[in-house]
Amino acid sequence: EAQVTQNPRYLITVTGKKLTVTCSQNMNHEYMSWYRQDPGLGLRQIYYSMNVEVTDKGDVPEGYKVSRKEKRNFPLILESPSPNQTSLYFCASSPLGVQGFTDTQYFGPGTRLTVL
Amino acid sequence: GENVEQHPSTLSVQEGDSAVIKCTYSDSASNYFPWYKQELGKRPQLIIDIRSNVGEKKDQRIAVTLNKTAKHFSLHITETQPEDSAVYFCAARAFISNFGNEKLTFGTGTRLTIIP
């Protein structure tokens, strides 16, 4: 089944304790992205990747890191989490069309992170 | 960068009536406008999209219209049903470099409630 998976789905942690949220897709999509969703603010892009070893900042990259060593995986790393990073996180992937543009984004199930 | 405004933030509609959600965007170079539906506790899923070379697109009870001159696009849902209750997000895709990098900016969402 074609899908985007994220792990963990729920995480409660404490300030300063490094964590990684994994994202994996089995659709051979070039484009992958991380969003955070907060009430009243919609979906805000954290980082995105147009292909392997190509990553770039979105609107709210501060406090986050990403890597894209393989096409299928795009982990989100919080080196020193803070309470303002408490949020619902979504990973998404999309194929690139013939002109190199993204198309439909397929979202993962989400990771609810609480930083105490 | 691109700015997408979405209105209203909440909308209650009697079952069977129509619902309209409106979005405006700022970057005249944006060329792809998807709409995502997010049911409670679920991931966002694409319901319809429109490209800048088209003024209107329909899919059964859902339609999207685009006015490039005014830089706004709207989602129309006719004959609303209880299962249409969800949060709806509009988005606009803009290109941010000459190397094909692009960015999808989301609106802040509209919570649609269908009253039986």
Q: Do β-strands B86-95 and A19-25 pair in parallel, antiparallel, or remain unpaired? A: unpaired
Spatial distance between the Cα atoms of B71 and A113, rounded to a whole number of angstroms: 36
Structural tokens at position B70: 């005014």
A56 contacts B34? CB cut-off 8 A: no
- How high is the pLDDT of residue A96? 81
Question: Longest Cα pair distance anywhere in chain A, in angstroms?
Answer: 45
If you ran DSSP here, which 8-state letter would residue A41 be given? Answer: T
Do the beta carbons of residue B77 and residue B19 sit within 8 Å? yes
- Contact B101/A56, CB-based, under 8 Å? yes
| Cβ within 8 Å, pair A90-B103 | no
Chain A residues touching residue B101 (CB < 8 angstroms): 50, 56
- Could you list the beta-strand ranges (E) of chain B: 4-7, 10-14, 19-25, 32-38, 45-51, 56-59, 62-67, 72-77, 86-95, 102-106, 110-115
Model pLDDT for residues B70-101, shown as the tens digit of each residue: 999 999 999 999 999 999 999 998 876 655 66
A40 CB near a chain B CB, below 8 Å?
Answer: yes
Both tokens of residue A54? 């190509």
The b/e string for B42-73 (b: 16+ C-beta within 10 A; e otherwise) is ebbeebbbbebeeeeeeeeebbbbbeeeebbb
CA dist B93 and B50 (Å) reads 11
Q: Is A59 on the interface with B (CB under 8 A)?
A: yes
- From the centroid of its chain, how far is CA B107? 8
Nearest to A33 by CA among A60, A10, A2: A60
Whole-number Å distance between alpha carbons of A102 and A23:
18
Secondary structure of residue A8 in the 3-state scheme? coil
pLDDT band per the 50, 70, 90 thresholds, residue B102: confident
* For range B49-68, the mean pLDDT: 93
Tell me what the pLDDT averaged over chain A comes to. 94
- Nearest CB to B43; choose among A41, A50, A109: A109
Mean pLDDT of A6-21: 97
The answer, yes or no, to whether residue A59 has pLDDT greater than 60, is yes
User: What number of CA atoms fall less than 13 Å from residue B51's CA on the CB side?
Assistant: 5
Which residue does chain B place closest to A105, by CA atoms? B46
- Rounded Cα gap, residues B18 and A19, in angstroms: 45
